[in-house]
Amino acid sequence: MASPEIDALTQALARLPGLGPRSARRAVLHLLKRRETALAPLVRALQAVEANMSTCDTCGNVDTRNPCGICTDSRRDVSQLCVVEEVADLWALDRARLFPGRYHVLGGRLSALDGVRPEDLNIEGLVTRIAAGGVEEVVLAMNATLEGQTTMHYVADRLEKLPIRITQLAHGVPVGGELDYLDEGTLAQALKARRPVS
Amino acid sequence: MASPEIDALTQALARLPGLGPRSARRAVLHLLKRRETALAPLVRALQAVEANMSTCDTCGNVDTRNPCGICTDSRRDVSQLCVVEEVADLWALDRARLFPGRYHVLGGRLSALDGVRPEDLNIEGLVTRIAAGGVEEVVLAMNATLEGQTTMHYVADRLEKLPIRITQLAHGVPVGGELDYLDEGTLAQALKARRPVS
Ligand SMILES: [Zn+2]
Ligand SMILES: [Zn+2]
């Protein structure tokens, strides 16, 4: 029924997380009925992001600036560095400004199953950042999964000799849970009760 | 935390039906992580629709062609015309090709509360289409709401003198239900058991 253009848009939207074919159709209809107030703003917002997005060379965050808004925010406490697996985790933690410091995105977690080795993660970049000085505490905020915890211990071992405090998120993160799905209250508790890596 | 561009995109997506702030953030992250395979195709799909979309002068459907794909589809039975309130209803009925004929979108329903009068709906266009000949049956497929049924009876009265059969959807549409939310089985039953307007 619909034109190829409308079909293509419906399919592109249906691939977004949280939208299936049915809600994608409703979204398309919503956009078609509101050309000036919904469709045009969405097109412009996407174009602006597409034209400007980049990965921060310092921390691995995705932003429209490089270095990113967090790395260039002078109000941030440079003595605290929070290490996360993915950009999604950084966003989850930073959403409610729970952490006053800066971040480091590893870009994944060690996985024998998926063939992810230490050299596939941005661990060297982390060591280099810390070696440059200024960092006093590194919070290892990996997911509470087996692979996340393996990654945490590997990173902790790699940082062992550096003159810094190494902490991990408190239990409070449910076992098997992924940071990006947690409510801010749980994240806040886990961050507040963080303890040295044992 | 995020840049103004990313915030603007998150907000534009959060306004789509079916997406809240949380799923909008996940969608943005999904797009940022897949610049070539998700972000770029979505931008192009939206641009194509924005550049080409228009309202069909014949039936009121929204499409990237005018007249729309349905009105120009020669396989359609021109003797049957299905009248709906909104484009969303047309899409719901046409999704599974339940109706072999063409459509007419009124653009709303009569409502004393909202101040929608007969002249605010595309009823004259419907009368003109039917008067031009070829139509043998008009299926009045309004929502099973009070206002939808009021609209149906008003349109039926307006078409009374024309040499056509006027039918309505069978009961099967739940009372208070809106077409766009129904499953195809219910829509198929309601269409199959349609009966003359009493
Ligand atoms: Zn950064
Ligand atoms: Zn049309």
Any idea what the CATH number is for the domain that residue A27 is in? 1.10.8.420
Which pLDDT score, from 0 to 100, does residue A47 have?
94
Q: Kindly state whether residues B110 and B188 are assigned to the same domain.
A: yes
Residues of B in Cβ contact (< 8 Å) with A52: 3, 5
Which pLDDT score, from 0 to 100, does residue A95 have?
77
Residue A136 is given by DSSP the state -
HSE of A93, CA atoms in CB hemisphere, 13 A: 31
Reported in sequence order, the residue ranges of A107-194 that DSSP labels E, i.e. its strands, are 137-140, 165-168
State the pLDDT confidence band at A191, using cuts at 50, 70 and 90.
confident
Beta bridge partners, B55, equal B62
Q: Say if residues B172 and B190 touch (Cβ distance below 8 Å).
A: yes
Asked if pLDDT for residue A13 goes beyond 70, the answer is yes
**What is the distance between the alpha carbons of residues A28 and A12, in angstroms, rounded to a whole number?**
10
**B47 in a domain, yes or no?**
yes
Which pLDDT score, from 0 to 100, does residue B172 have?
65
Q: Kindly state whether residues B114 and B175 are assigned to the same domain.
A: yes
Which pLDDT score, from 0 to 100, does residue B55 have?
93
A2 and B45 within 8 Å at the Cβ level: the answer is no
Residue B64 is given by DSSP the state S
Q: Kindly state whether residues B131 and B174 are assigned to the same domain.
A: yes
Mean pLDDT of all residues in A162-170:
89
Residue of B nearest to A6 (CA): B49
Q: Kindly state whether residues A85 and A177 are assigned to the same domain.
A: yes
Q: Which candidate in A1, A47, A73 is best for mutational testing of the B interface (most B CBs within 10 A)? A: A1
Q: Kindly state whether residues B152 and B95 are assigned to the same domain.
A: yes
Mean pLDDT of all residues in B69-74:
94
Rounded to the nearest angstrom, the minimum Cα separation between A80 and chain B is: 17
Name the average pLDDT for chain A: 89
**A17 in a domain, yes or no?**
yes
Which pLDDT score, from 0 to 100, does residue B191 have?
72
Better-predicted residue by pLDDT, A52 or B177: A52
Tell me the count of A-B CB pairs closer than 8 A: 174
- Cα–Cα distances (Å) from A4 to A1, A177, B83, B86, B95, in that order, read 9, 41, 24, 21, 14
Mean pLDDT of all residues in B122-129:
96
Residues of B in Cβ contact (< 8 Å) with A26: 17-18, 88, 180
Which pLDDT score, from 0 to 100, does residue B175 have?
65
Rounded to the nearest angstrom, the minimum Cα separation between A161 and chain B is: 32
Which among B18, B32, B45 has CB closest to A12? Answer: B45
CA-based torsion, A169, A175, A181, A186: positive or negative: negative
Q: Kindly state whether residues A37 and A92 are assigned to the same domain.
A: no
Which among B3, B17, B41 has CB closest to A27? Answer: B17
Which pLDDT score, from 0 to 100, does residue A154 have?
96
Name the average pLDDT for chain B: 89
Asked if pLDDT for residue B101 goes beyond 90, the answer is yes
The CATH number covering residue A163 comes to 3.40.1360.10
Residues of B in Cβ contact (< 8 Å) with A8: 41, 45, 48
Percent over 90 (pLDDT), chain A: 64
Residues of A in Cβ contact (< 8 Å) with B70: 1
Asked if pLDDT for residue A171 goes beyond 70, the answer is no
Better-predicted residue by pLDDT, B86 or A186: B86
Q: Kindly state whether residues A111 and A190 are assigned to the same domain.
A: yes
- Residue B16 Cα, ligand 2 centroid: separation in angstroms? 25
Which pLDDT score, from 0 to 100, does residue B50 have?
93
**B67 in a domain, yes or no?**
no
ipTM associated with this complex: 0.71
Which pLDDT score, from 0 to 100, does residue B22 have?
86
Q: Kindly state whether residues A155 and A108 are assigned to the same domain.
A: yes
**B102 in a domain, yes or no?**
yes
**B8 in a domain, yes or no?**
yes
For residue range B162-196, what is the model confidence (pLDDT) as tens digits? 999 999 887 666 667 777 777 777 777 777 777 66
Better-predicted residue by pLDDT, A13 or B192: A13
Which pLDDT score, from 0 to 100, does residue A175 have?
65
**What is the distance between the alpha carbons of residues A22 and A25, in angstroms, rounded to a whole number?**
5
> What's the number of domains chain A is made of?
2
For residue range A117-150, what is the model confidence (pLDDT) as tens digits? 999 999 999 999 999 999 999 999 988 788 998 9
Which pLDDT score, from 0 to 100, does residue B12 have?
94
Asked if pLDDT for residue B1 goes beyond 70, the answer is no
**B58 in a domain, yes or no?**
no
**B80 in a domain, yes or no?**
yes
Q: Kindly state whether residues B80 and B160 are assigned to the same domain.
A: yes
Domain boundaries, position B168: 76-196
Asked if pLDDT for residue A50 goes beyond 80, the answer is yes
Asked if pLDDT for residue B59 goes beyond 70, the answer is yes
Q: Kindly state whether residues A91 and A123 are assigned to the same domain.
A: yes
- Residue B193 Cα, ligand 1 centroid: separation in angstroms? 62
Asked if pLDDT for residue B3 goes beyond 70, the answer is yes
Mean pLDDT of all residues in A41-47:
95
Which pLDDT score, from 0 to 100, does residue A58 have?
95
pTM, two decimal places: 0.71
Q: Kindly state whether residues B39 and B103 are assigned to the same domain.
A: no
Give the position of tokens 């933690």: A93
Q: Kindly state whether residues A11 and A98 are assigned to the same domain.
A: no
**B57 in a domain, yes or no?**
no
Asked if pLDDT for residue B91 goes beyond 60, the answer is yes
